[in-house]
Structures are given as structure tokens and as C-alpha cells.
């Protein structure tokens, strides 16, 4: 086991024990699984964002590329706002918002501080750093921008819901049709709404900042509802993360012709 730092539990006056932790459970398992899951997602999403192909299969568009806002986009789902260079993937213009939202999310902060930065790796397990300033300095002080990513994320949720509704068409653009892809896009949009609305910043802005709930009954009800969702924020964070990758993968299967979308009607 690692010897403890003299500034931490080895500080003068404290009970002397030259071990990093006395925990006997598998405290390392959770950070390990977190690293594996997040690295897998980062690798997959980076590859897909730079692939710049196979993200559209009429009428479905991958969430990594929605809203697709350049003239380089495959298909036609969203107003093309500008013409970017062909070698820049349309995903790169938009992924900063969901990336920033998740990176500054209170749950993910806990997850990656523990698992990647080991600060601390688990409760009562000594961290390996000699000094610590938390979120008081650059760059971590920018974690305070979370609510702005939350606002932007809501706009993206509207776009993804719009794209999910657009998937009630068939390959010829005719309405009132539905396939497995429609269900997947709708589920993806719903999970992203649940993740966004269960956010701690959302809980604060809808009512948490108030001192007197009794003077704002509507906001109190909204705060109560968001608080209920907030208890499952971690769950929604993981489920929506996995499902957004799965949705992209499904669209890729369709776009490459590896799979045919089952049509219900």
C-alpha cells in the first residue's frame, strides 16, 4: 500500500498509520468502472464525430450530428445556417454544448474527480496530490458556468425532439409512419429531457434560489417536481449517455446498410 502524505492523514498529531486506507471492500471498483465507461464513450463519440459520414438514414439523424447546421450535412433535416469546409465534420460545431453540459454537471464532476483525478478515489482513501484548491482557480472555476450549458442544452433537447418528431415519416417524406428508429429517437430525446430537467442547476433556477416558497406556489411545485427527478440524476446521466451512443450506433447501422429499419406502419 502507498504511504500516506505527511500533509494528510500523516500530519503531526494525527493517529499514525502508514497505509493509504484501511478499507477492506472493493473501493477501487467504482472508479475503475467509471473510467472504463467514460473512456469507451469518449473514444466512440470522438471517432463518430470525426467520421463525418453515416450519420443520416432517411428519416433518422444521429444525435451526434443534430441539429445539422451546415451545407455539408447529409440529408435535409434542419435549416443550414452556414457553409463550413468539407473536411470539418458538422458534429464538431455542436458537440461543445452537450460536452460542456456533461463536463460541468455536478454528477459527472463527482464521477471524474473520483475516478480520473482520484481526488479522492473513494471515501476515506487518501488522494495522491500534495496540494488541493478545489474549484477556486482556473480552470475549475469555470465549473460555475454549468447553468449556461444547461440553458443551451435545453435548446438542443428541443432540436432533438424536433428530429424525433420528424422521424414519423417514411423514406419518401410522408407523415404518419413509424419504425424502430422512431422509437429509439423518441426514447433518446425523452432521456435527454429527463437528464436535463433533473439537473441541479435546473432545480435551483426553477425555485431553489427562493427563500420563501410560500410566496411562489407555482415555482414551489416546479421545484418539488425537479427535486424528485434530481434524486435520480446520476441514473439519468448514465442511461442517457449510453442511449445517445446507442442511438448514433443504430443510425450508423442503417446508414451503412448493415441493418434495415423495421417499419411498424
Partner 1 sequence: MSYEANLRVWRGDAAGGGLQDFTVTVNEGEVVLDILHRLQATQTPDLAVRWNCKAGKCGSCSAEINGRPRLLCLTRMGTFTEDEVITVTPLRAFPVMRDLVTDVSFNYEKAAQIPAFSPRPREADGSHRMQQIDVERPQEFRKCIECFLCQDVCHVVRDHEDNKKSFAGPRFLMRIAELDMHPLDQLDRKDVAQEEHGLGMCNITKCCSEVCPEGIKITDNALIPMKERVVDRKYVPSTWLGRTIGRRKG
Q: Least distance from C-beta 191 to partner 1, angstroms?
A: 21
Q: Least distance from C-beta 33 to partner 1, angstroms?
A: 16
In the complex with partner 1, the residue whose CB is nearer, 140 or 253, is 140
Region of 122 on the Ramachandran plot (φ > 0 left; ψ -120 to 50 alpha; else beta): beta
Task: Report CA-CA distances (Å) from 125 to 8, 18, 112, 178, 229.
Answer: 11, 13, 16, 51, 30
List of residues contacting partner 1 (CB under 8 A): 5, 7-9, 11-17, 21-25, 106, 109-110, 113-114, 119-120, 123-127, 129, 131-136, 140-141, 144-147, 200-201, 203-204, 208-209, 211-214, 220, 230-231
Q: Least distance from C-beta 236 to partner 1, angstroms?
A: 14
Q: Least distance from C-beta 141 to partner 1, angstroms?
A: 7
Q: Least distance from C-beta 118 to partner 1, angstroms?
A: 10
**Cβ atoms 132, 120 nearer than 8 A:** no
Our CA dihedral for 164, 165, 171, 177, rounded to 10 degrees, sits at 120
Q: For residue 246, what are the contacts with CB-CB under 8 A and spacing of at least 6?
A: 184
**Cβ atoms 59, 74 nearer than 8 A:** no
Q: For residue 19, what are the contacts with CB-CB under 8 A and spacing of at least 6?
A: 1, 2, 3, 4
In the complex with partner 1, the residue whose CB is nearer, 27 or 246, is 27
In the complex with partner 1, the residue whose CB is nearer, 83 or 231, is 231
In the complex with partner 1, the residue whose CB is nearer, 177 or 204, is 204
In the complex with partner 1, the residue whose CB is nearer, 134 or 173, is 134
Amino acid at each position: 500500500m502507498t504511504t500516506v502524505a505527511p500533509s494528510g492523514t500523516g500530519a503531526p498529531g494525527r493517529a499514525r498509520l502508514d497505509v493509504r486506507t484501511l478499507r477492506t471492500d472493493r473501493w477501487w471498483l467504482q472508479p475503475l468502472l467509471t473510467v472504463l465507461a467514460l473512456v469507451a464513450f469518449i473514444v466512440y463519440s470522438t471517432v463518430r464525430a470525426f467520421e463525418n459520414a453515416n450519420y443520416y438514414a432517411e428519416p433518422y439523424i444521429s444525435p451526434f450530428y443534430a441539429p445539422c447546421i451546415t451545407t455539408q450535412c447529409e440529408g435535409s433535416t434542419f435549416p443550414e445556417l452556414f457553409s463550413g469546409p468539407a473536411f470539418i465534420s458538422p458534429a464538431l460545431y455542436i458537440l461543445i454544448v452537450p460536452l460542456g453540459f456533461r463536463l460541468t454537471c455536478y454528477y459527472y464532476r463527482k464521477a471524474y474527480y473520483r475516478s480520473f483525478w482520484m481526488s479522492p478515489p473513494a471515501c476515506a482513501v487518501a488522494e495522491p496530490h500534495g496540494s488541493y484548491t478545489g474549484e477556486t482557480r482556473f480552470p475549475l472555476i469555470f465549473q460555475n458556468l454549468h447553468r449556461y450549458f444547461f440553458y443551451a442544452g435545453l435548446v438542443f433537447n428541443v432540436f432533438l425532439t424536433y428530429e424525433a418528431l420528424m422521424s414519423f415519416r417514411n423514406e419518401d417524406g410522408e407523415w404518419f409512419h413509424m419504425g424502430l428508429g422512431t422509437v429509439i429517437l423518441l426514447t433518446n430525446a425523452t432521456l435527454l429531457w429527463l437528464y436535463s430537467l433533473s439537473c441541479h442547476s435546473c432545480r435551483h433556477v426553477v425555485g431553489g434560489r427562493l427563500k420563501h416558497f410560500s410566496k411562489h406556489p407555482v415555482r414551489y411545485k416546479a421545484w418539488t417536481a425537479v427535486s424528485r427527478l434530481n434524486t435520480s440524476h446520476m441514473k439519468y446521466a448514465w442511461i442517457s449517455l449510453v442511449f445517445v451512443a446507442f442511438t448514433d450506433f443504430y443510425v450508423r447501422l442503417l446508414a451503412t446498410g448493415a441493418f434495415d429499419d423495421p417499419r411498424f406502419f
